[in-house]
Amino acid sequence: MEKREAMDQSLELVKRSTLALVGSNGDGGYPNVKTMIKADHEGLKRIWFSTNTSSRRIGQFRRDPKACVYFLDDEAWKGLMLLGEMEIQTDGESRRRLWHPGDERYYPLGVDDPDYSVLRFTARRGNYYHSLANADFDVE
């Protein structure tokens, strides 16, 4: 598979995905994986999530920002792994960017709830898999 084709198919997978598996480095260096809702994306380069500031994931990314995000189409047997860094954002602009009506059920104090954080993932490398084809690429 050509790298350009892999990148194009990767972007299509990200666009239609609502969920992603997010990997962080946990206690003792063991990987931790959690399914998270993809809140927004900017091509393959940046992907946003939101979570509780008090969550285990925030603590892990504070200690080590290295992360992996995996998107899956299980019916077509396609997968995309992105490697990069996760940044914790608690500023008002970042929070408002992802806020939706109804989010109060998770953050009762609203968009300014101190337990509401935004995670911004910046991808460096990708690996796209479909059937038996596999392609590595740099994310630009």
pLDDT of 131 > 90? The answer is: no
What's the confidence (pLDDT) of residue 1? 80
Instruction: Tell me which residue has tokens 């104090």.
Output: 109
Question: Per residue in 12-27, pLDDT tens?
Answer: 999 999 999 999 999 8
Roughly how many angstroms between the first and final C-alpha of the chain, as a whole number? 19
Distances in whole angstroms, Cα of residue 69 to Cα of each of 49, 102, 106, 114, 127: 11, 26, 23, 25, 11
Which residues form the domain of 51? 3-138
Q: Structure pTM?
A: 0.94
Find the mean pLDDT for residues 102-110: 94
Extended beta strands in 3-132, E state: 19-25, 31-37, 40-42, 46-52, 66-73, 78-89, 116-130
- CATH code of the domain covering residue 17: 2.30.110.10
What's the confidence (pLDDT) of residue 27? 87
pLDDT, mean over the chain: 95
Total of domains in the chain: 1
Instruction: Tell me which residue has tokens 């997968």.
Output: 79
